[in-house]
Amino acid sequence: MDIAHIFANPESPILMPAPNLRTTAVIPCAVCEGQQITVLAVRDRHGQPLENVLCRACGLVWVDPRPSNQSLEKFYSAEYRQQYKKSFQPKPKHLYRETLRASARLRDFLPHYQAGMRVLDIGAGAGFFSYVLRAQGIDSDGIEPNEHYAEFARSQLGLASVRTGFLLDITQRDHYHLITINHVFEHLPEPRAALAHMHSLLTVGGRVLMEVPNIEAVYHAPNKIFHLGHLYWYNPATLTALAAQCGFTLLQLDTHGSTQHIRVVLQKSATPVATTAVAHLVAGNADKVQAVRQGHTVRGHFLSARPYVRLAKKIVQYAREYLATRRFSNARELCDAIVKKWPLGRSQPHA
């Protein structure tokens, strides 16, 4: 291989340092601004090159270097096609699943809601959560970057308040009492700026109800975790530290179910906390995260009961979705039937 060939092929491994030897990040850590890292993974779940790194100082994990906007757009358009195919209409099983999930979110939402509160759902998707809220007589605003999802919310679910756009397009300062953001925050390339913006949109004492995946989860096979969509991976410590630096008090945090997703309730406090003041929140966290990730091996995963229990649950779920959805002719009818039958989701403990 000659020099000309190397420069004609910028992906040539000769020009790339061995990824597991790299110890400096391209993008500084979003929690502590550190750049000393350990490379956790060099491939995504499809086997494509994608590096996820662990901050040595605080334990945050992120995609580094970040792929081009073009790659991200391609990823999202593929995900979009996977879920919505070419018709721009979710299949009945997706309607069923998403409306049930939205109903389950209602259970965590209601204790924080009082009549008259202004509510914003960030990453409203196709509007299922707004729809479930409306069935309870609660109006909400929604913002969703995918125009097809947002259009579905408006035209099929009658939710005129779901706008197409990004979080930064919402500019009503000190306006909202509650912000919900469900499995969206991990997709955002500037998490600190996003949280600071949410802080500005809330009234003092206003709350953020957020759920994100947990980097400590062992739900998925270890080689099926990382992908382009999740630009940041949190655990309770890093999410808490970031929120504290953006002027939020942590009211509640729990990890739930087999997925170990992290749910937090954050409250807008008056002043942000300096970076150094949150160091105690992340002390020892990098070693903890690294130990979990290194301890979760492919062999160990498939020797455990987890993947088989998950498969069995999925088979039951698919059968249930098929049976529950076959008699409905349109989206609205199906969503209404679910909301009426399971207003707080199907798995409510007292059901």
Interface with Zn ion, residue 159, by CB under 5 A: no
- Total residues at interface with Zn ion (CB under 5 A): 8
C-beta of 29 vs 40, nearer to Zn ion: 29
Q: What's the one-letter identity of residue 75?
A: F
C-beta closer to Zn ion: residue 58 or 210:
58
Q: Point out which span in 57-65, 137-145, 178-186, 265-273 binds Zn ion (CB under 5 A).
A: 57-65
Candidates 37, 50, 57, 244; binder of Zn ion (CB under 5 A) is 57
307 counts as binding Zn ion under rule CB under 5 A: no
Dihedral sign (CA 27, 210, 160, 88): positive
- Residue 344 contacts Zn ion per CB under 5 A: no
Under the binding rule (CB under 5 A), the answer on residue 29 touching Zn ion is: yes
In this complex, which beta carbon is closest to Zn ion, that of residue 36 or of residue 260? 36
Could you tell me how many helices (H) and strands (E) the chain has, helices first? 12, 11
Omega of the bond leading into 65 within 30 degrees of 0 (cis): yes
- Closest CB 122 distance from Zn ion, rounded Å: 24
Q: Decide the pairing of beta strands 176-182 and 37-43.
A: unpaired
Say whether residue 244 binds Zn ion (CB under 5 A).
Answer: no
- Please write down the long-range contacts of 322-326, taking CB distance under 8 Å and 24 or more positions apart: 322/93, 324/96, 325/92, 325/93, 325/95, 325/96, 326/92
- Please compute Rg for the chain using Cα positions: 21
- Is residue 215 part of the contact set for Zn ion (CB under 5 A)? no
Member of 25, 32, 37, 126 binding Zn ion (CB under 5 A): 32
Alpha helices per DSSP H over the chain: 3-8, 69-84, 92-109, 128-135, 147-155, 191-201, 236-245, 279-282, 285-295, 298-303, 306-325, 331-341
x/- mask, Zn ion, residues 60-89, rule CB under 5 A, reads x-----------------------------
Q: Could you list the residues that contact Zn ion (CB under 5 A)?
A: 29, 31-32, 34, 55, 57-58, 60
